[in-house]
Amino acid sequence: MPFITFEGVEGSGKSTQLARAAVKLRETGREVFDTREPGGTAIGRKIREILMDVSHAHLDPAAEWLLLEADRRQHVVEAIRPALARGVFVLCDRYSDSTTAYQAAGRGLDAEGVEFVDAIARDGLAPDLTLLYDVMPGEGLARARSRDGGTGRFEAADAAFHERVRLAYLEIARRRPERVRVLPAAGTPDEVFRSTWAALTRAFPL
Ligand SMILES: Nc1ncnc2c1ncn2[C@@H]1O[C@H](COP(=O)(O)OP(=O)(O)OP(=O)(O)O)[C@@H](O)[C@H]1O
Ligand SMILES: [Mg+2]
């Protein structure tokens, strides 16, 4: 069954759109497993706490990356693959493209090394569809700040970091047009959701 990932810069609307998609898919009678990274399992939630803690400003970039890969491995094995085997729609808030964008492009880690280890972490599992919410990083950060003060470790990174992340996402979309749909995300939540639903129903006629 379909494995769909939601990607984009901070505050681009991933979680908002995923929640709406889950509601509407359930309304159409589909069973949905909605989850997120990091933190999709009990072990992953402990890893998430380490990653998000703003007192961990000195967390080494490669240590950060490997924690994310540990979270992903546990998530795929314990939760995502079993859900796909049950035949439900799996909607995941961030997945491997986040690591390519944030840890390789954003933090500057070796892209080939990241790709190699990530393939182990996700056990070779690739999404069937990725929705990439594209918004200028400044706009997304402003939304995230009005939501919760924007106090996370990633939100605290400088503007150039977020610009690298955005461009890396667009490069992934350019290289994987069969998997990734770029959805402009500057409009209202309702407008963006029309694009979300159109992309989902086009890929998986309901
Ligand atoms: N299209 C939109 N226009 C304006 N505000 C929005 C839009 N979509 C979501 N928001 C609001 O912006 C904030 C960030 O949205 P959301 O949490 O969905 O983004 P996100 O991509 O999941 O962020 P993060 O990367 O921090 O997880 C929330 O307060 C949300 O209500
Ligand atoms: Mg979110």
Residue-wise pLDDT tens digits, 4-38 = 999 999 999 999 999 999 999 999 999 999 999 99
Amino acid (one-letter) located at 185: A
Q: Ligand 2 centroid vs 49 CA: distance in angstroms? A: 15
Ligand nearest to the CA of 187: 1
145 lines ligand 1 (CB under 6 A): no
* Spatial distance between the Cα atoms of 206 and 203, rounded to a whole number of angstroms: 9
Record the tokens describing residue 25, joined without a space: 């898919």
Q: Ligand 2 centroid vs 15 CA: distance in angstroms? A: 4
Record the tokens describing residue 115, joined without a space: 């790709």
Q: What is the second-level CATH architecture of the domain 3-203?
A: 3-Layer(aba) Sandwich (3.40)
55 lines ligand 1 (CB under 6 A): no
Ligand nearest to the CA of 193: 1
Which residue's C-alpha comes closest to atom 23 of ligand 1?
11
What residues contact 44, with CB distance under 8 A and at least 6 apart? Answer: 37, 38, 71, 74, 75
Closest CA to 67 of 45, 88, 85: 45
pTM for this entry: 0.98
All structural domains of the chain with their residue ranges = 3-203
Record the tokens describing residue 85, joined without a space: 């085997």
The closest-lying atom of ligand 1 relative to the alpha carbon of residue 133 is 21
Which residue's C-alpha comes closest to atom 12 of ligand 1?
143
Which residue's C-alpha comes closest to atom 25 of ligand 1?
10
- Report the half-sphere exposure of 143 (CA within 13 A, side-chain side): 18
CA 78 to chain centroid, in Å, comes to: 18
Q: What is the pLDDT of residues 110-168, one digit of tens each?
A: 999 999 999 999 999 999 999 999 999 999 999 999 998 877 888 888 999 999 999 99
Closest CA to 17 of 153, 133, 181: 133
Q: Ligand 2 centroid vs 93 CA: distance in angstroms? A: 7
Instruction: Please state, for a pLDDT cut of 70, what percent of the chain lies above it.
Output: 100
